[in-house]
Amino acid sequence: MSKIRCSHCHLEYDESILIEDDGLYFCCKGCQGIYHLLKSEGLDDFYEKLGSNTIAPPKEIKESLEKFDKEAFFKKYVSITKEGFCSISLVIDGIYCSACIWLNEKVLHKTDGIVEVSINHTNNKAKIVWDNDTIKLSSIIEVIRNIGYNAYPYDASMQEVQANAKRRDYYSRLLVGIFCTMNIMWIAIAQYGGYFTGMRDDIKDILNFAAFILSSPALFYTGGVFFKGAYYGLKNRFVNMDLLVISGALSAYIFSIYSMFSGHGETYFESVAMIITFVFAGKYLEVLTKKRVVDTLDSFSSSIPNEVLVVNEQEKIFKSIESVEAGDIIEIKAGERVAIDGIIVSGEGSFDNSSLSGESEPVYLKAGDKVLSGGILLDSVVRYEATCAYKDSTLHKIVSLLEDAMDKKPHIQKVADEISGHFSSIILLFSVLTFFGWYYYTNSFEQALVVAISVIVIACPCALGLATPVATLVGLSRAIKRGVLFKEASLLESIAKCNTVVLDKTGTLTYGKPSVVKVFLKKEIDLSLIYSLVSLSTHPISRGVKEYLSKQKPTLYELKGIKVIEAKGIKAYYAGKKIVLGNRAFLSDEGVSFSEDLDQMSVLHIAIDGSYCGAFYLEDSLREGADQTVKWLKLKGLRVIMLSGDNRAVVQKIAKRLEIEEYHDSMLPEQKAKFIKKLRSNSRRVVMVGDGINDTLALSNSEVAITLGSGTDVALSVSDVVLLEESFDGLKDAFLVSYRTYGNIKQNLAISLLYNVITIPLAMAGYVIPLIAALSMSLSSLLVVGNSMRIK
Amino acid sequence: MDNWLVVMMLSASTLLGALGLWALLWGLKTGQFDDPKKFLDGALLDSEEALQDAIEMENRKKELKKKKEKSYSPPD
């Protein structure tokens, strides 16, 4: 069969399955509709711009547009501009190339009532300004959907903007600092020359003044954050690094101004600029890593609905979730997310709890059953009675849990801060003692001050301060190249110190998606028929069978009388034959009885015209690289434990294959969390690897939480490390990079400590002038940076 | 070397450098570097038509603004 490209999405398909339309070919009705729409609107330039690129065929979007016009939605996402127009930030889904952006912009430009459109080509975020009297937001979203894309709102006023603003502010400060330092160094070179060969006083004054002009913005603009930090530190009675940096830089600055005007002694403006810029560069690196954490939290909070439909005495009203009380009857439709816990009073349906439990199979719930917030109703309409207010519901608890976790500082960082606090106090004390000592013996204020400044400058925490961040930054970038994302730099250290690894089974060690492992057919049947039927269902088992059959290149038949019964099975008619696929109960409902069955496996039975034909047996498969990684972890002397909510037989089988001696089955989320707590109380340092919400509690209780990139949003937000690739090798890489980085940090600390131990006494003895102190300080920083680059 | 020469050279070079720095900071502040892809795409997508669209949109904005002002009646 020949392959032909779809005229809209440009993907290649077999000729037989394409829809022919006047010499054009389309892979689906969606592509066909969009093609004609663009043509009639005169937008067919799009295909020229698309060139040989391909895009995804449009997805059918079931989510209703109503919510975009609701008041609560408006309040949350829409802002009013000065001119009285509405403005919203959207993320546009389905953009693959610049032609897609062109098309979206063009279509929105043509829409009446829209006054401003700007789409960011790099991250596909769009800002739209419109006149609400001319067009409603739902119509704008509809326009975007009509051309095969989808748009989600995001709250741009939240943390993302703040984080971006902070990053930008720090970047500007850093640029100013670098500019001043670079220029001041040219002047300093002339001054150094004059120091050895002699220089006329008037030239010296000019150079001093230029250096003074250049060092001022570095100290007060770039160093502004240190002033602030030192102020807050003092306010809370805490001596921090910031204070040390400021006292060193400021005293050198003031002394330089004094010597510039009095003509006594040397000026040290270049030291001021250098101290500030070097230390600030380290601080800037910290801000960079923080931004990533904010990104994940944003994606989670946007999935919570902000309004629910409350039914009271035959009247339906929308209430914001915060105002719903226990006892209210709430109605939800297919595709909606449950916002508040409750008990079903009428209706029945399948709920996708995958974002809560990590289990891929939908749960079938009927009147009297309990629904949990966070689940999504897949079919029908269900009314349920709220059993609590939003603030007590599962979903809200998880969100607040997350926010708490974000605020918590890792233990190691606290210790590091404390040590540097002590270090700063001691150095300040040393310099004060040095000043009085020298003043007492030499009776020269100037000399005493110069030596005291030298002590502060030479001990300036550069090397000590850079030891950790530079090594971790190098480690982080090496890790990202291997597909491992650390949310915080200090985690590299934490992982290296851990001695126990706890692994979740479903979705972590295994893919969490069943695939066909055995086929049993009683008689010859047309497998294309089965393929056509399973294509109709989104159930994981159907998907597993579909994936298996699609390798045999089946054809799609047109079926009649299709009936999909969620969580049970599918039936349909083809050429007068009745085909039934489903579980044992469903087939016996249809009057088919049989004896075959296999424990520990998911099964899809087949019956045609009332007679049993066979079954597909499915099993969850082991993740790629899982066995080697587990072996490697054990080789490194780590204690490996497997936890699972599954039954004993399944867990035992996997444990045997992976040679894990320690495993626990049938564990509930709380039990997993307790288990981790117990391990930690026995002074074990625990790394937990998991994926679903069922692991979230355990993850947040562990020392370091690692999730796979395919995990649920909540698990991703609570985790410290994300493995971006599907394979399990990422876990090994995470440990490897951590070990190397931690080793490097220790070397760096040793270098800077040794440096301080040698230089501080020298400075106190007066052998080092501030100029040499600043130079040697830079040298020690270079040593530390150079050593960090060796991490592979 | 005359003093004024040193002063002039120092101040001219520093000023020029500061000018460049100011331009860079201005670009940062106004978001000129937020969307690197837009510059590349601009070469592909910019055309007379795009300008036309932008003007049309400006006009539409003005019209709607006028309409808004007209329909607005201050409270008594």
Q: How is chain A split into domains, by residue range? A: 3-50, 66-157, 162-294+409-468, 307-405, 471-510+623-740
Residue B57 and residue A109: Cβ atoms within 8 Å? yes
Contact status of B9 with chain A (Cβ, < 8 Å): no
What residues of A are annotated to the active site?
A: 504
- The 10s digit of each residue's pLDDT in A627-663 is 899 999 999 899 999 988 777 777 888 888 889 999 9
Q: Taking CB atoms and an 8 Å cutoff, what residues of chain B touch A171? A: 28
According to DSSP, residue A725 is labeled S
- The 10s digit of each residue's pLDDT in A706-728 is 887 665 555 666 677 878 777 78
Report the pLDDT value the prediction gives residue A173, as an integer from 0 to 100: 94
Tell whether the model's pLDDT for residue A690 goes beyond 50: yes
Distance from CA of B31 to the nearest CA of A (A): 9
- Asked if the domains at A66-157 and A471-510+623-740 fall in one CATH topology, the answer is no
CA distances to A63, A111, A395, A537 from A379, in Å: 12, 34, 21, 12
Q: Taking CB atoms and an 8 Å cutoff, what residues of chain B touch A131? A: 64, 68
CA-nearest of A735, A132, A705 to A478 is A735
Q: Taking CB atoms and an 8 Å cutoff, what residues of chain A touch B45? A: 49, 98, 101-102
State the angle between helix axes of A201-217 and B3-29 in degrees (0 to 180), rounded to the nearest 10: 10
CA-nearest of A514, A518, A573, A520 to A542 is A514
When the pLDDT of each residue in chain A is averaged and rounded to a whole number, the result is 79
CA-nearest of A612, A621, A609, A618 to A571 is A609
CA-nearest of A629, A618, A601 to A509 is A629
Instruction: State whether the Cα torsion A9-A13-A18-A21 is positive or negative.
Output: positive
Which is more confident, A131 or B37? A131
pLDDT band at A17 (very low <50, low <70, confident <90, very high): confident
How many angstroms separate the CA atoms of A619 and A514, rounded?
5
Tell whether the model's pLDDT for residue A684 goes beyond 90: no
Percent share of chain A, pLDDT over 90:
8
What is the model's pTM?
Answer: 0.55
Cβ neighbours of residue A292 under 8 Å, at least 6 residues apart? Answer: A485, A487
Distance from CA of B30 to the nearest CA of A (A): 11
Pick from B9, B38, B70 the residue to mutate for testing the A interface (most A CBs within 10 Å). B38
Residue A116 and residue B61: Cβ atoms within 8 Å? yes
CA distances to A38, A400, A485, A502, B66 from A143, in Å: 12, 36, 37, 48, 26
Q: Taking CB atoms and an 8 Å cutoff, what residues of chain A touch B21? A: 175-176, 179
Contact status of B66 with chain A (Cβ, < 8 Å): no
Contact status of B7 with chain A (Cβ, < 8 Å): yes
Tell whether the model's pLDDT for residue A429 goes beyond 80: yes
Cβ neighbours of residue A601 under 8 Å, at least 6 residues apart? Answer: A517, A518, A617, A618, A619
CA distances to A88, A123, A403, A406 from A147, in Å: 20, 20, 38, 39
Report the pLDDT value the prediction gives residue A589, as an integer from 0 to 100: 82
CA-nearest of A559, A500, A550, A528 to A702 is A500
**Considering only alpha carbons, which residue of chain A is nearest residue B19?**
A179
Over residues A132-161, mean pLDDT: 78
- The 10s digit of each residue's pLDDT in A547-556 is 888 888 788 7
Report the pLDDT value the prediction gives residue A641, as an integer from 0 to 100: 93
- Weakest mean pLDDT among A254-258, A732-736, B30-34: B30-34
Tell whether the model's pLDDT for residue A190 goes beyond 80: yes
Fold classification of A307-405 is 2.70.150
Which is more confident, A261 or A29? A261
Strand partners, A91: A125, A152
3.90.1310.10, 3.40.50.1820, 3.30.1360.120, 3.30.70.100: CATH of A66-157 = 3.30.70.100
Phi, psi of A710 (to 5 degrees): -85, 0
According to DSSP, residue A337 is labeled B
Tell whether the model's pLDDT for residue A379 goes beyond 60: yes
- The 10s digit of each residue's pLDDT in A269-306 is 887 888 788 778 767 766 665 554 445 445 455 566 77
Q: Which spans in A408-498 are helix H?
A: 411-442, 445-459, 462-481, 491-497
Phi, psi of B57 (to 5 degrees): -65, -40
How many angstroms separate the CA atoms of A696 and A404, rounded?
13
Report the pLDDT value the prediction gives residue A296, as an integer from 0 to 100: 45
Phi, psi of A606 (to 5 degrees): -125, 135
pLDDT band at A172 (very low <50, low <70, confident <90, very high): very high
Distance from CA of A146 to the nearest CA of B (A): 21
How many angstroms separate the CA atoms of A34 and A51, rounded?
17
Distance from CA of B25 to the nearest CA of A (A): 6
**Considering only alpha carbons, which residue of chain A is nearest residue B47?**
A102
The per-residue pLDDT string of chain B (76 residues; one tens digit each, 9 = 90 and over) reads 688 898 999 999 999 999 999 999 999 888 788 777 777 777 776 778 778 888 888 888 888 888 877 776 555 5
Report the pLDDT value the prediction gives residue A408, as an integer from 0 to 100: 47
Contact status of A81 with chain B (Cβ, < 8 Å): no
Distance from CA of B47 to the nearest CA of A (A): 11
Report the pLDDT value the prediction gives residue A711, as an integer from 0 to 100: 55
Tell whether the model's pLDDT for residue A245 goes beyond 80: no
Pick from B5, B9, B61 the residue to mutate for testing the A interface (most A CBs within 10 Å). B61
Contact status of B43 with chain A (Cβ, < 8 Å): no
Which is more confident, A129 or A465? A129
Cβ neighbours of residue A24 under 8 Å, at least 6 residues apart? Answer: A7, A35
3-class DSSP assignment, residue A65: coil
Tell whether the model's pLDDT for residue A129 goes beyond 80: yes
Nearest to A203 among B6, B14, B18 (CB): B6
Nearest to B68 among A84, A168, A171 (CB): A84
- The 10s digit of each residue's pLDDT in A80-101 is 888 888 888 887 877 777 778 8
pLDDT band at A491 (very low <50, low <70, confident <90, very high): confident
Q: Cβ distance A640 to A654 under 8 Å?
A: no
Report the pLDDT value the prediction gives residue A148, as an integer from 0 to 100: 82
CA A740 to chain centre: 24
Phi, psi of A89 (to 5 degrees): -105, 130
pLDDT band at A209 (very low <50, low <70, confident <90, very high): very high
How many angstroms separate the CA atoms of A652 and A654, rounded?
6
Residue A120 and residue B38: Cβ atoms within 8 Å? yes
Residue A113 and residue B29: Cβ atoms within 8 Å? no
Report the pLDDT value the prediction gives residue A616, as an integer from 0 to 100: 87
pLDDT band at A183 (very low <50, low <70, confident <90, very high): very high
Over residues A192-215, mean pLDDT: 88
Residue A202 and residue B3: Cβ atoms within 8 Å? yes
Query: Which span out of A574-578, A604-608, B10-14 was modeled with the highest average pLDDT?
Result: B10-14
Tell whether the model's pLDDT for residue A177 goes beyond 90: yes
Report the pLDDT value the prediction gives residue A293, as an integer from 0 to 100: 45
Over residues A242-263, mean pLDDT: 83
DSSP per-residue codes, A181-216: HHHHHHHHHHHHHHHHH---HHHHHHHHHHHHHHHH
Q: Cβ distance A691 to A709 under 8 Å?
A: no
Over residues A197-205, mean pLDDT: 86
Tell whether the model's pLDDT for residue A214 goes beyond 90: yes
Please state the ipTM of this predicted complex. 0.73
CA distances to A63, A326, A453, A617 from A340, in Å: 19, 9, 62, 37
Contact status of A103 with chain B (Cβ, < 8 Å): no
Q: Considering only the top CATH level, what class is A471-510+623-740?
A: alpha beta
Neighbours of A382 (CB within 10 A): 26
Percent share of chain A, pLDDT over 70:
84
pLDDT band at A417 (very low <50, low <70, confident <90, very high): low
CA-nearest of A320, A319, A308 to A383 is A308
Over residues A132-158, mean pLDDT: 80
- Weakest mean pLDDT among A259-273, A396-410, A417-431, A723-737: A396-410
Contact status of A361 with chain B (Cβ, < 8 Å): no
Instruction: State whether the Cα torsion A580-A585-A591-A593 is positive or negative.
Output: positive
Report the pLDDT value the prediction gives residue A410, as an integer from 0 to 100: 47
Pick from A107, A116, A131, A209 the residue to mutate for testing the B interface (most B CBs within 10 Å). A131
Contact status of A584 with chain B (Cβ, < 8 Å): no
How many angstroms separate the CA atoms of A308 and A300, rounded?
19
Contact status of B14 with chain A (Cβ, < 8 Å): yes
pLDDT band at A518 (very low <50, low <70, confident <90, very high): confident
Tell whether the model's pLDDT for residue A220 goes beyond 60: yes
- Tally DSSP H helices, then E strands, for chain B: 3, 0
**Considering only alpha carbons, which residue of chain B is nearest residue A173?**
B25
Distance from CA of A131 to the nearest CA of B (A): 8
